[in-house]
Amino acid sequence: MNPSFNSFGNSTCIFRRTLLRAAGLGGLAWLSPLAHMLVRAQEKVPGNAPAKSVIMLWMAGGPSQIETFDPHLGKKIAGGTGAIKTSVKGVQIAEGLPQVAEVMDELTIVRSMFSKEGDHERGTYNVKTGYRPDPTLVHPSIGAVICRELPVAGVDIPRHISILPGQWPARGGHLGASLDAFKVYNTLGLTGDITSQVEPERQKKRLGGLRKIEDSFARGRRADLDKKTTLHNATIQRALDMMNSKRLGAFDVSKAPAQTRDAFGDTDFGRGCLAAVQLVGAGVRCVEVTLDGWDTHLNNHEGHTTQNAILDPALASLIRELRIRKLLDQTIVICAGEFGRTPKINGLNGRDHWPKGFSVALAGGGFKGGHIHGATDPEGVSEEPEDPVKVADIHTTVLHLLGIEHKKEYENLPFERFGRLSEGEVKGSLLKST
C-alpha cells in the first residue's frame, strides 16, 4: 500500500502531558500559533446557509442496507429480516430500528449509494473524503474542509472531534495536521486527560519555572523576533486555555439529566452521540462518533440485531435532542459506513462487502424530512441501483448546505496541482424547498 494513503489514520491520542510537551503534533496541531493566525484571517459565518455543523455517525465495518434502512420484506434477499412502519406513510425500515422509525419524518434516506471501493480502508477514505484514494495526495475529510472554510471565533476547544475513533479517523490531509480530528476515547468526559493533576498553586509555580526557561531561550534570538514569547510558549498558552475552558464541559455527559442520558442508551456510542449534541451546541463544527462491529461476514442477522440495539436509541435520541435544543436546522446528521452488504447470504449466514447499492441516512441542516431517494433491486439480480448517488454527491450537497463553494480549488498541492473541495453534484432532490 502507498505510504500517503496508509497515513490516513496515523496519529495518536494525546493526553494532558502531551498537551504541555508536544502540542502541535497529530490531532493537537490546531493549537499551533500558525493555525490560529489562519483562523483569525478567515473568520466568517455561513451567511444564509441553514447549516453550521455536521455530526457524522460512522458505522465502521459496513452495515447491511437490508437490515437497516432498505428492507425487502418477504423477498429472498431479506433472509427473513422483517420491516416496520415509520412515521411517514408508506415508508418502512428494518424491524431492528423502532425508535428511528418514529423520527423518520426528519430523515432523508438515500438507498442508492454507489461507489467503486469495496475494501474497508479504501471505502472509509472514499466516504470520509469524497475522493477515491490517490497515491500522490491525501485528501482532507469533510470535517477538515468544514473547519478550514468556516472557522469559529472564540472557541478554545477543538472544532473537529472524533469520539471513539476507529482505525482510520478523520484527517486534515493536504490541508495539514492542524485540521486532524481531535480524538476522544472516553465518553464520560475528559477530566482525567485534560485537567491539572496538581493543586493550582503548584501548577502556577511549574508554569513560572517554564516561563523563565522560555524567556531565557527567547533572549539572544534575532532582533525581529518578539522577545516576550516564543511559538512554543504561545502553543503552551493555548493548551492551558483549553484546559481551563468552560466549554470542556460539553465533552462530559454525566451532568445531563438522567432521563436524557437513558434515552441515548447505556453504551459508549449512545453517550458519544449525546456528547456530539453538546459539542455542536458549544460551537464545534464537526463531530464524528464511531460504532464499530458491522462487518458481518459471519452470522449477519445476529450481528445486526446487536448493532441495531445500540444505534436505534442513540440515533433517534440525537435527532430528538437536536430538535429540542433548536439545533437540528443548523446541524447536518450523516449516518453512514464505508459500503453495504451483499443481497446474497453466504455460506456462513453472513453478508459480504457491497458498494453497489447501499444506504446513507441524512437529517437536519436543510435536508428533506421523510424522504426516500433511489431503490435497490428487491430480487438482488441487478447491481445497478435506481437513481444512483455517488459518494462525492453527498459531500457536495453537504458543502452546499453549509454555504461552502464546492468548486473552490486549493493551490500549492504536490506537483503544482489544484484540488477542488468536491467533484460531485448538488442533489437538489434531497433538499427542502426554499
Find all residues with CB under 8 Å of 203, minimum gap 6, and list them.
196
Q: Output the pLDDT for position 26.
A: 41
Q: Output the pLDDT for position 6.
A: 37
Q: Output the pLDDT for position 215.
A: 67
Average pLDDT over the chain, rounded to an integer: 84
State pLDDT tens for residues 225-240: 454 555 555 656 556 5
How many C-beta neighbours within 10 Å does residue 188 have? Answer: 13
Domain membership of residue 246 as a residue range: 3-430
**Cβ atoms of 430 and 110 closer than 8 Å:** yes
Q: Output the pLDDT for position 244.
A: 57
Q: Output the pLDDT for position 221.
A: 57
Q: Output the pLDDT for position 237.
A: 57
Confidence class for position 419, pLDDT limits 50, 70, 90: confident
Confidence class for position 155, pLDDT limits 50, 70, 90: confident
* pTM, to two decimals: 0.83
- Given a cut of 50, whether residue 73 has pLDDT beyond it is yes
CATH of the domain at 11: 3.40.720
**Cβ atoms of 93 and 100 closer than 8 Å:** yes
Of 327, 330, 337, nearest in space to 359 by CA = 337
Find all residues with CB under 8 Å of 179, minimum gap 6, and list them.
29, 30, 140, 143, 144, 147, 148, 160, 171, 172, 173
Q: Output the pLDDT for position 207.
A: 63
Find all residues with CB under 8 Å of 134, minimum gap 6, and list them.
4, 5
Cell representation of residue 352: 459480504
Q: Output the pLDDT for position 156.
A: 75
Pairing verdict, β 371-373 and 107-114: parallel
**Cβ atoms of 361 and 107 closer than 8 Å:** yes
Confidence class for position 181, pLDDT limits 50, 70, 90: very high
Find all residues with CB under 8 Å of 126, minimum gap 6, and list them.
115, 117, 132, 133, 338, 391
**Cβ atoms of 294 and 60 closer than 8 Å:** yes
State pLDDT tens for residues 129-152: 999 999 988 999 999 999 999 987
Give the least confident one: 11-15, 293-297, 413-417: 11-15
Find all residues with CB under 8 Å of 10, minimum gap 6, and list them.
none
How many C-beta neighbours within 10 Å does residue 91 have? Answer: 18
Q: Output the pLDDT for position 4.
A: 35
Q: Output the pLDDT for position 242.
A: 59
Q: Output the pLDDT for position 249.
A: 79
- Structurally, the chain folds into a number of domains equal to 1
State pLDDT tens for residues 279-331: 999 999 999 999 999 999 999 999 999 999 999 999 999 999 999 999 999 99
**Cβ atoms of 328 and 366 closer than 8 Å:** no
State pLDDT tens for residues 257-280: 999 999 999 999 999 999 999 999
State pLDDT tens for residues 80-101: 999 999 999 999 999 999 999 9
Instruction: Give the position of cell 421523510.
Output: 370
